[in-house]
Chain A
Amino acid sequence: MKKICGLTIDEAIHDRLLKVEPSKKDRDYDQVLYKVSIRNLDGWFGTKQVLKNINLDIKSNVATAIIGPSGCGKTTLIRCLNRMHEMTPGATAKGRVMIDDIDIYDKAIDPVIIKRRVGMVFQKPNPFPTMSIYDNVAAGLKLNGIKDKRLINDIVEESLKDAALWDEVKNELDKPGMGLSGGQQQRLCIARALAMQPEVLLMDEPTSALDPIASSKIEELVHELKKELTIINVTHNMTQAARVSDFTAFMYLGELIEYGPTDQIFKNPQKELTERYISGKFG
């Protein structure tokens, strides 16, 4: 059975994931080998090209770190994976990004629906300021039209448990989300993303605003979460990349320089540029 973002083609059309005519649904999709495949992806801010011909294949249920100096396009790259990049005025992207076997840049695809399947956690914790802890986690479901209260309750509890926050907040679910500490807020944001049941979770330097203890909690989480989903983690912190990721991609000036198993990238990089960056000679 061909699947798109975990749905059969019929379900996808029913969910308005695909706007194609039913007659076209039997398109011959290649067999899925990778969860995410990026092909010839270029990205621009106005006339400035920030991504240059990126090609990258990411396997299912692994954690991939994207490292590189500031301004190298790491964040832009992951923002292209849920079509968030183009929401910045003037930003454009061209190329193919396959998630399972669907090209999310296909004209038939509604970008809003892609975001429900590809979760995102941001650099700074950004819980919804007017909402309680409960509502922060439930917001994605409620605002996407899910009304079944018992289902929502179950998912909120499950997501908070998966984000390792449940024990800390289970007695104060109606307190404001903004009242939590920075590390707790970031885990709340992870729970909020998990509530949408994504298959890919994009993390944009999720620990850069956190202290070491809060950071290590998020790192432990990545280990747990990748059993369920595919994680792509942008980071400045190379020891973190080495600790949490199975694969590492090194980017420099908008280009993907080297990509491979984390061990290989850190112990035996093939490119001189990677070696110099890893050993702290620049960046």
Chain B
Amino acid sequence: MNLTFARKYYRLLSKTEGILYQNPLLALGLALPLAVIPSFSITGAVAISLAMLLCFVPTVFLASLLRGRFSTAGQVIVYPLVSCLLLIPAGKLVSWISPLIFDTLGVYFSLICVNSLLMFSVGQAQKKTPFAALKLALRQWLGATLVALVLGLIRELTGSGSVWGVTLLRNIPRLPVAQMAMGGFILMGFFAALCRLIHRSILRFTIKSGAALDAAALAQNQENSQGGEDR
């Protein structure tokens, strides 16, 4: 194994935990309703991400400030209520994106306050300091946002040939399935598989390059020892 490369790679993974590594959507399967349905277009993905930023991050930060005060049953009641209260100003911010955004998002906007990512992060925040919990919340929000934006872009392009309502692809057959629930599920599944494949490929490259380096170092050592014997 090429230890230098492996160390650099794992350092990158630990710095991007929640974004590239242990992504809450692709690796942990959390916040499924927010990734599959609202990300049918870039508009929906941006709206949900903004709302999550206002509801999810402060709630997780608050959970770390109040860590240990509530049992699991209490956490499940208090923090969704806090998140729901934060949803009211978030709604006003999101309505600037598009006047019809709430019609398209439907109940999924309201489900931000009880989504599984919030419950998971609140549980993780119990064991962290406030600063660490804030970093965790921001990373997970960023990871979920990245995935939602990529999905939204692909689905809107393939489903309606447009990005943010601006038509880009005119004469190419559309796939309306991409903007339905099944398209979201299938695309997310392939995206998760692709990320896993990339991770495994990098690890395999690390091992192979390390094996190649080891073989070269061994050959060099043998040459040196033979040269020493000749003298």
Chains A and B come from one and the same complex? no
| Residues of A that sit less than 8 Å from B by CB | none
